[in-house]
């Protein structure tokens, strides 16, 4: 499984801005859901398919978050830059 991963400490008033060179799934997960994601189990996330860039997402609460960017199993590659606003 190929994916980009960023570990972020976020406040509830932060906005994560993701700039992409290709469409991709942008998912914000807590630690337990990130473990489920890595292990191929069912997981919950905030975000979705980003067809346009930049893509913005706000965490539902403060804490440690995992931002995962993947192409959903397609062979395309994606480059991303992440900024916390």
Q: Residues 20-61: pLDDT tens digits? A: 999 999 999 999 999 999 999 999 999 999 999 999 999 999
Residue 40 lies in a domain: yes
Provide the domain count of the chain.
1
pTM, entire model: 0.91
pLDDT at 1: 58
Residue 84 lies in a domain: no
- C-alpha–C-alpha distance, residues 58 and 74, integer Å: 26
Find out whether 20 and 80 touch, Cβ atoms under 8 Å: yes
Residue 10 lies in a domain: yes
Segments forming the whole domain that contains residue 67: 4-76
Residue 83 lies in a domain: no
Asked if pLDDT for residue 75 goes beyond 70, the answer is: no
- C-alpha–C-alpha distance, residues 62 and 59, integer Å: 7
């Amino acid at each position: 499984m190929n994916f980009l991963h960023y570990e972020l400490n976020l406040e509830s008033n932060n906005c994560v801005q993701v700039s992409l060179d290709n469409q991709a799934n942008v998912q914000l997960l807590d630690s337990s859901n990130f473990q489920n994601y890595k292990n191929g189990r069912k997981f919950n996330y905030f975000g979705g398919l980003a067809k346009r860039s930049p893509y913005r997402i706000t965490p539902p609460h403060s804490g440690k978050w995992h931002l995962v960017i993947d192409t959903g199993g397609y062979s395309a590659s994606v480059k991303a830059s992440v900024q916390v606003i």
